[in-house]
Amino acid sequence: MSTYWTTTNTPAGPFTMLTDADETVLASGWTTDVPGLMKLARLSGTPEQRADPGVPLKALQSYVDGDLAAIDGVAVRQRGGSFIAHAWDVLRQVPAGAPVTYTEFAERAGRPAAVRAAAMACATNAAALFVPCHRVLRLDGTLGGFRWGLPVKRWLLEHEAI
């Protein structure tokens, strides 16, 4: 499988996407570290630079411009166990502007007692933004952690609160 990468600027900083030939997002985040994203997504090989990955880049640009639902239809493929994969699907159903707590996320994923497993789904998510783990907050409403930094998470939540 061929892997492609592109980096573009966003108000929250440089954003890099790894995609396949079909424009499915394999990994993404606020970084320029392509090898780091490859490792995060557990991909091997040397990705090729692609100036325009089509649908994912257009969706990102529309999202930044205020169409918060633009990212919802972008195809994503990640590697994970059955609960983690299901939890990532559940994350994609959390609407922009309506963040949930880790407890609520675990409930929505069908395992209310599995709050730590829900948190692990966020921590291992390689497709940031397209699988919006930034929409999950601590029980007290604080931001908690985010692989790409709390300033990015804060920007995303403020952008989505409009």
C-alpha span between 152 and 132 (Å, rounded): 12
Residue identified by tokens 């699907």 is: 89
Q: Is 133 a catalytic residue?
A: yes
C-alpha span between 122 and 133 (Å, rounded): 5
C-alpha span between 132 and 116 (Å, rounded): 17
Q: Which of 126, 133, 136, 137 is catalytic?
A: 133
Residue identified by tokens 């299901």 is: 86
Residues identified as active-site: 133
